[in-house]
Structure 1
């Protein structure tokens, strides 16, 4: 079948979809990844067909978007900002997605762009979404993230209350999205977004570990946990030599904040240099923050873009921001973690790391000063390392991309069978 996959954002929104696209291609499906031109090289290097959803002439600075998001504290404000940032591109995105859908058998979209359902329905194409986090999966057995469900209520009443909270969350998020995108959707003849949480698509692939992450709760059957869909950039042989020489064969802490933006990165590194113990080695990934090695601190090595799997093989612990993809990589590495959440669902993943016993959170505002003491706490408690190894062993038994492809194939077959039965009746 011909499958169109699409996602936008940072690499954490792109790499899982590359993994899914590669698995679909390997299963014999004609697969096209439709997204922004900035990711063309990564996608084509993976052997997946690329389709641009806007012209190369568009000045898209995703780093600037992320910087604006980090200044907002409310998840609702952050969600509004996502769509306001995308608003100038939406007419082009809609028009080009409409074009690439001709002759398609399935559209798989990032859950953040539920308006693509209207385009899929226009072409009669089954529509599925891909979710990189599981806190957005609704259930009457727990409330939406960061909302309290009174434990003193009887269980039946608490389930009713939780269901009400999810309906309210649907209405609030739908309103936020629709206020931002109402005009381009109307101009394209598309319906407004409805039921962002409870019914974003007929099938939702939740691309996290089912064994580690799936809640023990009643969840609607449209949500299918498949395991992580992970894609890694090619490994760098020269960097491997550098890291091996730098480490002397010993494991060392690795810090990476991925797509987080630091307008004053040099000031943060000066704070780190002032607090970090002399002679103790630390690897810092430059990332979107643009961190540079502090002068006179040879024990702090800064590296550029590199596969997480390659980098984390050298790690005694991983210090990160709690992004979905980075958390997955740290769990697969089987090492303890320190999570300094910056924005959005990173706070949720920080709590998940704590729940799994693989590490704990530290505050973003003071991580340079607190880092050494937090690592000492990790080292002093072997339970963190043991839990991390158990998590890695669990993940080794899962194959997220293959499971996701099987779920999507079943979904398309069920949809076709349902439509055929409806025609006969």
Structure 2
């Protein structure tokens, strides 16, 4: 059995698919990951076959986030065409398709699976992306807002209409070229009647709803046995546990180039050393102080348990890694699902949700003061013992049981 795994997005979108691919291989199946070439090195380290698609996603995301009025239909059409072409080749010899990531890419994956009459699974990495009466959908900036008195059921109905209006004509043009009938229910066709939710039920519980029946597998975690660099280990051993600061794939344009200075000064006000991850924002130390150590790509699974606190953007993968480490968190959410993860961390008492996407030295220092309290550490360690790490294995077994015969 060979499964085609497809995504368009940042590392937080691609690495869980690498985890699923590795779990499939461990259970005797094969997998092929269709994703940006940005992640070739990481997937190669994991022994996962990458079928690269398009230009680096980092460049695409930087352009979109820097554009105050992005052309969402036009950019969606570009992604859909790019993934239709790539998946038309990658799907050969495959027996099933699993798609995640931005909607235009999952739309392409669904239509190719339908064209080849293959089983198809849509997987989400956050409950808020799936229809539910318990939360509202993401609001497209180019679509008119719903009435102020609309309930979540009505908001999700309007969301389906907005998805159709935004991507439907492009999708139906591709479907016609593939010999498929048009659809007027694009979102529901792509999401399917029973999507999978690749999140941990403790960190991210799914409340039953009539709008969507979900299969929650647990978070898809790629095991990482890479050692920490000797110089980093020496820094960690030389003093008290430091604070990690890193914002992953967020360029932090709104911070005006001051993110590193703010984070370093906030940590210093709490008497903490700092491990500063450059990320897509290009964070670098602001002086020659020996209390700050700069890193690039790193094994979070090895590093995070050695931190006093973890300051980050609230991506699903980073939030889960910090939660599993039992280390308190401060989340400064920027976009998309990140406010949800910040809220969950605060609700569980394992960290702090910063109010607003741009921090000051004072606001970040206050958040760190709460995160560094002994009671936050104790609660983080308790929750770490409750979350699971077998979601990829659960999902792989389900795929093989359902479609491997």
* Same-fold call, TM cutoff 0.5: yes
C-alpha distance in 2, partners of 1:26/1:193? 40
| 2:127 aligned residue | 134
Q: 1:162 to 1:265 in 2, by over 3 A?
A: closer
Q: TM-score, normalised by structure 1?
A: 0.81
SS of 1:172's partner is helix
SS of 1:130's partner is strand
Q: 1:163 to 1:311 in 2, by over 3 A?
A: same
Pairwise CA distance, 1:29: 0.9
| 1:28 aligned residue | 28
Pairwise CA distance, 1:45: 2.5
| 2:315 aligned residue | 323
C-alpha distance in 2, partners of 1:168/1:119? 26
Pairwise CA distance, 1:379: 2.7
Q: TM-score, normalised by structure 2?
A: 0.85
Pairwise CA distance, 1:345: 1.0
Matched, 1:277 2:268: yes
Q: Residues 285 and 291 of structure 1 are in contact (CA less than 8 Å); yes or no, is this contact kept in structure 2? A: yes
Q: 1:277 to 1:316 in 2, by over 3 A?
A: closer
Count residues with an aligned counterpart.
Answer: 393
SS of 1:372's partner is helix
Matched, 1:286 2:281: no
C-alpha distance in 1, partners of 2:212/2:363? 43
| 1:342 aligned residue | 334
Q: Residues 38 and 58 of structure 2 are in contact (CA less than 8 Å); yes or no, is this contact kept in structure 1? A: no
Q: Residues 132 and 212 of structure 2 are in contact (CA less than 8 Å); yes or no, is this contact kept in structure 1? A: no
SS of 1:395's partner is coil
SS of 2:191's partner is coil
Structure 2 portions without partners, runs of 5+: 140-144
| 2:369 aligned residue | 376
Pairwise CA distance, 1:213: 1.8
Matched, 1:66 2:58: no
Pairwise CA distance, 1:23: 0.5
| 2:304 aligned residue | 312
Q: RMSD over aligned Cα, in angstroms?
A: 3.2
C-alpha distance in 1, partners of 2:224/2:375? 31
C-alpha distance in 2, partners of 1:292/1:373? 22
| 2:196 aligned residue | 205
Pairwise CA distance, 1:283: 1.3
Structure 1 portions without partners, runs of 5+: 55-59, 152-157, 417-425
| 2:40 aligned residue | 40
| 1:154 aligned residue | none
